Amino acid sequence: MSYTVDFGKIIHIAKGGDIMQILKNEEMRKLDELAIHTYKIPGIILMENAGISVVEEIEKCLIAKENKKIAIICGVGNNGGDGFVIARHFLNKGIEVTTYIVGDFSNIKGDAKINFDILEKIKAPIVKLMDSKDIEEFEKDLSQHSILIDALLGTGLQRTVEGIMKEVIIKMNLSGKEIIAVDIPSGVNGNDGKVQGIAVKATKTVTFQLPKIGNILFPGSYYGGELSIKNIGIPKKAVDSMQSKVHLITENMVQSILPKRYADTHKGSYGRAFIIAGSIGMSGAAILASKTALKCGTGLLRTAVPNSLIPILENQLIEGITLPLEEMLEKGILDYIKEENVIAIGPGCGRSQQFEEILHTVVRNATVPLVIDADGLNMLANNISLLKDLKVPCIITPHPGEMSRLTGLSIQEVNDHRLDIARNFSEKWGVITLLKGARTVIANPQGEVFINRTGNPGMATAGSGDVLTGMITGLLSQGVEPLKATMAAAYLHGTAGDRAAIRLGEYSMMAGDIIYEIPTVIQEIMKK
């Protein structure tokens, strides 16, 4: 079984809707130990399987190359051991391979030492890199090779990359060659994706059994290029027993979440959605959220906006029902929302006293799932304890600036600790938190975290968040559980954005272009 991730999408995964765990370095070590000590799979077999899985990916890259020479750059740990396995298999295939080793040979231990000894016995070309003179020769040699394999450090890195290792990585990055990283690009921290001073810039990364957090989060994901996740023979029972609280949202998960449609149904079968949005100058937010909810399948939509915006919405939103906010306030908000299946509030609402009154009333009295976005979050930041009055599941969808206002932390702190901050907020306030950004993070009150890998920089445009709110709302109206609706919406939102980027380019995308792609994305996933 293998998984390939490219441009934010899972290209190939096994059938089924299983959740894919994402591990920290220490969790992966625990999984290896479990396989070795409990399930009695020798470590050298796992190393052999890991090396073979990388060989399979390298062979795909070699097909189009006239020059088949490979340089395998190894450290003296187990990552280097994987590299020794790779070298042996290619030598057996008649491919010209040179193995470069950074570090003292006497530090090669255990399974890595067994594989190193085999290379020596078969008289494989091995070059030691110890000082600046070696680096000069190494730089010249790289020009003779077609592909470079990074088997230097793996996930065991705990400190800043310095000295000879740093020089080697610099030369690799400057070579202009295709680089395939083993497990994780050397220099990337597997626990958080941060670069430890310098890191290999790989074209592709082959990681083993399960992805590590550093494979998924930025900047590690950027340094890793295309990601392939390879099964190396660790028993499924061992993998399932890890029970990591960090997961990757996959297409299979989304396919299992999207509600099926049956012939004997009507619009009432697919729910009623109520969106409170818009203010003078911000009618677009209401339109984008409303159109998206309909595109995602809601049966009946009502959108409440200030009376002055009604003509604009009725011109743009002919399939939905519009209501003036002033009338709601006069007759009583609760009468308008009591028959709905979901309420979304906040996109483009502004920060007026009138809107504050509406927000407080809705939060305290809602009897159906609630989505709070944009100005709803900005007003909430002034009275965060209002969340304690919730009687229903609530989803908040802040970008880093809004999360900064909600938590009192700086935007930099929010971006540096996305997983922990989203998790802590959800646990403290009992809400589902969708933290937008480069790797959208979703956390629930039970401390689980789900990471979405779809999306691209072209989605950093006004209105993109309103589209996401509409997607969540549309799925909730059809009875999808709040957490599942949030995960599916994040994945669909990013995938639609990826399609728009292919069609238009990242520079020219607008929020409406994401909406345009939604039907095709849903149709493709449902067909699979």
DSSP 115-130: HHHHHHHTT--EEEE-
Calculate mean pLDDT across residues 399-408.
98
Q: Please enumerate, by residue number, every residue annotated as part of a binding site for K(+).
A: 79, 150, 186
Quick: pLDDT tens for 73-124. Answer: 999 999 999 999 999 999 999 999 999 999 999 999 999 999 999 999 999 9
Residue 6: pLDDT band with limits 50, 70, 90: very low
Calculate mean pLDDT across residues 137-153.
97
Q: Please enumerate, by residue number, every residue annotated as part of a binding site for AMP.
A: 436-440, 465
213 in helix, strand or coil?
Answer: helix
Quick: pLDDT tens for 174-205. Answer: 999 999 999 999 999 999 999 999 999 999 99
What pLDDT, on the 0 to 100 scale, is given for residue 164?
A: 96
Average pLDDT, the chain: 95
What pLDDT, on the 0 to 100 scale, is given for residue 253?
A: 95
* Distance from C-alpha of 418 to C-alpha of 441, rounded to nearest angstrom: 7
Q: Please enumerate, by residue number, every residue annotated as part of a binding site.
A: 78-82, 150, 154-160, 183, 186, 285, 348, 399, 436-440, 465-466
Residue 307 has pLDDT above 50, yes or no: yes
- Tell me which residue of 497, 491, 494 sits closest to 509, measured CA to CA: 497
Calculate mean pLDDT across residues 459-486.
98
What pLDDT, on the 0 to 100 scale, is given for residue 2?
A: 52
What pLDDT, on the 0 to 100 scale, is given for residue 14?
A: 34
What pLDDT, on the 0 to 100 scale, is given for residue 157?
A: 87
Tokens of 151: 């088997």
Let me know if domain 253-257+271-527 sits in CATH 3.40.1190.20: yes
Calculate mean pLDDT across residues 401-428.
98
Residue 45 has pLDDT above 50, yes or no: yes
Residue 297 has pLDDT above 90, yes or no: yes
What pLDDT, on the 0 to 100 scale, is given for residue 528?
A: 81
Tokens of 40: 């009695």
Contacts of 34 (CB under 8 A, 6+ apart): 234, 238, 241
Phi and psi angles of residue 384, each rounded to the nearest 5 degrees, phi first? -65, -25
Residue 379 has pLDDT above 90, yes or no: yes
Its pTM stands at 0.94
Q: Please enumerate, by residue number, every residue annotated as part of a binding site for (6S)-NADPHX.
A: 78-82, 154-160, 183, 285, 348, 399, 466
Q: Where are the domains of the chain?
A: 23-242, 253-257+271-527
Residue 519 has pLDDT above 90, yes or no: yes
Quick: pLDDT tens for 220-270. Answer: 999 999 999 999 999 999 999 999 999 999 999 999 999 999 999 999 999
DSSP 240-274: HTT--SEEE--HHHHHHHSPP--SS--GGGG-EEE
Residue 10 has pLDDT above 70, yes or no: no
Phi and psi angles of residue 159, each rounded to the nearest 5 degrees, phi first? -140, 175
CATH fold for the domain made of 23-242: Rossmann fold (3.40.50)
CB atoms within 10 A of CB 228: 23
**Whole-Å CA distances, 501 to 162, 226, 454, 472, 508:** 38, 17, 12, 22, 8
User: In the chain, how long is the greatest CA-to-CA distance?
Assistant: 88
* Distance from C-alpha of 418 to C-alpha of 304, rounded to nearest angstrom: 33
- Tell me which residue of 467, 455, 466, 460 sits closest to 499, measured CA to CA: 455
